[in-house]
Amino acid sequence: METRSLKAANESGRVSGSSSNGRRAATKASGDSRSLDLPRYALNLFESAWTRRLRTKKIEMELFTAKYYAACAAGGMVSAGSVHLLITPFDMLKVNMQANPVKYRSICSGFGTVWREQGLPGLWRGWGGKLLGYSAQGACKFGLYEYFKKSYCDLAGPVYTSNYKTLIYLAASSSAQVIADCALCPFEAVKVRVQTGYGRGLADGIPKVYRTEGVRGFYKGLRPLWSRNVPFAMLLFSSFEHSVDFIYNRVLQIRKNECSRGVQLGVTCVAGYVSGVAGTIISNPADNIITYMYNNKGATFSQAFKSIGWVGLFTRSLPLRIMLVGPIVTSQWFVYDLMKVSLGLPTSGGIDQHLSHSTSRKEGDKWTTHPAEI
């Protein structure tokens, strides 16, 4: 009996040892497979962690409500204000290249001139106007675009919305930008003057503009600002929307809600850069006219046009603006959509949700977004 029990113990030990060895081999094999495909493993780990975080927050927000539009406005404010603040030195140089192209002939020599004459603080002239002005503009532009886009979709109806999407994008973006520029204009008027030596900052520039030109001085460049920013916004939003549709339908050939959040944000960046460059080219003439009018008291639109000339309108500071605006717009869209995703909202682009919401509203249902459904 004792011999049999010892044999049984030895056999069970061999079985347990072989099973543990099998488990170790399986673990090693899985570890090797993970090491061979580490980027994909890390992405999946990140995706699952993000999904768990959102699910634990249980964020639920009904689309196309006051709370939804407020969230979009907050995202636009943070994205536009922070990004424009970071590129203040480049904007400072751009304004001076437009105002005095003889002195500031190129990007490298221009930076050298500013550094020699004004030092590091000179590169950051106008940062207050950039931060406050573009925060206000971003909140109005992104928040109101979502509002007008939904309103015009409801007004047109599902059939006309599907057939005339581009007109919906153009109408919504132009309506939002007209209001957004009214919020930006006073800060832009002071910023451009400060960057060309008129004052030291907002606290110094605002009283000077008011004493010399009154309230009209803050809105002197509103019409040129509209002529620059409204076409820019129309091309920006419409090209972004169509770029998003093209990438999902023609390149990836998959529905947006079937893609991971990382892929959706990547699509946002690509579409954002395309839209930024397109908008920069079309708005460059108006941007040069605005700078000329702000720095030449009493100058009219026709005087600015004659002074700069046809070639100057389209070419002066264009390479610098493309270098600036492309990454700026890309960063704005990325930060904006990143904030939306963190709140459990879908990324920007497309019109299917608007059509689905209109249909569900007719049926009496609420349209709510859940983190797990994005």
The reply to whether 35 falls in a domain is no
The reply to whether 230 falls in a domain is yes
Which of the four pLDDT bands, split at 50, 70 and 90, describes residue 337?
very high
Domain that holds residue 289: 65-362
Report d(CA 151, CA 41) in Å as an integer: 43
* Confidence (pLDDT) at 354: 79
pTM of the model: 0.75
* Confidence (pLDDT) at 312: 87
**Residue located via tokens 């204000």:** 81
Which amino acid appears at position 42 of this protein? A
Cα torsion angle, 324, 330, 333, 337, sign: negative
Per-residue pLDDT tens over the stretch 61-83 = 788 999 999 999 999 999 999 99
Which of the four pLDDT bands, split at 50, 70 and 90, describes residue 344?
confident
Which of the four pLDDT bands, split at 50, 70 and 90, describes residue 166?
very high
H-type helices in 296-346, by residue range?
Answer: 301-315, 318-342
* Confidence (pLDDT) at 99: 85
Report d(CA 40, CA 19) in Å as an integer: 30
Give the CATH number of the domain where residue 326 resides: 1.50.40.10
Which of the four pLDDT bands, split at 50, 70 and 90, describes residue 1?
very low
Domain count, the chain: 1
The reply to whether 183 falls in a domain is yes
Long-range pairs for 258-263 at CB < 8 Å and ≥24 separation?
260/43, 260/47, 261/47, 261/50, 261/341, 261/347, 261/374, 262/43, 262/46, 262/47
The reply to whether 349 falls in a domain is yes
When mean pLDDT is compared across 13-17, 129-133, 248-252, 347-351, the lowest value belongs to 13-17
When mean pLDDT is compared across 19-33, 65-79, 281-295, the lowest value belongs to 19-33
The reply to whether 348 falls in a domain is yes
* Confidence (pLDDT) at 53: 45
**In 180-264, which ranges are E strands?**
none
Half-sphere exposure of 12 (CA within 13 A, CB side): 6
The reply to whether 135 falls in a domain is yes
The reply to whether 283 falls in a domain is yes
The reply to whether 48 falls in a domain is no
Contact 290, 301 (CB under 8 A): no
> Mean per-residue pLDDT for 241-259?
93
* Confidence (pLDDT) at 60: 61
Name the nearest CA neighbour of 334 among 265, 247, 237, 261.
265
Residue 347 pLDDT > 90: yes
